[in-house]
Amino acid sequence: MYRLREIERRDLNKINNWRNDEKLISYLGAPFRFINYEVDVNWFNNYMANRMENVRCAIVNDSCDEILGIVSLTSINFQNQSAEFQIMVGDSENQNKGAGTYAVNRMLWHAFNNLNLQRVELCVLADNKRAIHLYEKCGFVYEGRKRKANYKDGKFVDLLIYSILRCEYDEEMSKGVENESIKEG
């Protein structure tokens, strides 16, 4: 149904549309700014030049390769075996259909099994209940609150810090395998 692939230049039109969608950006930690296409071309070129510290994937519909969102590991630190996690499912008609859950789980698998990371962390707006539910469902653990840390829509809001460790991910995965065995048996 879904798969991940590295973002490509051909994705930039869609990505630029999302980054200029005030409603979509209101759910993210980033401030809304008007972003022209050239800014996103430079962002993409910067990513391509720094792929050792970042993994940026398109979440795509497996049947037609249509981009539905972006999932990323950024600020990868191989010494500390850590990275920061971000996700954005773009158009509202593609939200709440499992693409986000798939992308979080697939990117965590990549982080722990291919990149040999120990820790993946994220920050989420305290009022983004849907994202918080997704992260907790996928095994992220609440670590703390950064009070009034982000300026959004004319006011300062809290950010919540979540992380998942490899051992926690392995435990969640083994539960999933056990649950699948129970369903099949």
Render pLDDT for 51-86 as a digit per residue (tens, 0 to 9).
Answer: 999 999 999 998 888 899 999 999 999 999 999 999
Domains of the chain by residue range: 2-184
Task: Give the chain's mean pLDDT.
Answer: 91
**Can you give the pLDDT at residue 90?**
86
SS3 141: strand
**Can you give the pLDDT at residue 174?**
65
Candidate from 18-32, 70-84, 92-106, 149-163 with smallest mean pLDDT: 92-106
Contacts (Cβ under 8 Å, ≥6 apart) of 66 = 60
d(CA 140, CA 121): 8
User: Shortest CA distance to 4 belongs to which of 117, 105, 140?
Assistant: 105
- pLDDT (tens digit per residue) in 94-147: 677 788 999 999 999 999 999 999 999 999 999 999 999 999 999 999 999 999
**Can you give the pLDDT at residue 13?**
96
Indicate the pLDDT class of residue 153, thresholds 50, 70 and 90: confident
Q: What is the dotted CATH code of the domain comprising 2-184?
A: 3.40.630.30
User: Shortest CA distance to 47 belongs to which of 92, 18, 12?
Assistant: 12
* Farthest-apart Cα atoms in the chain, separation: 55
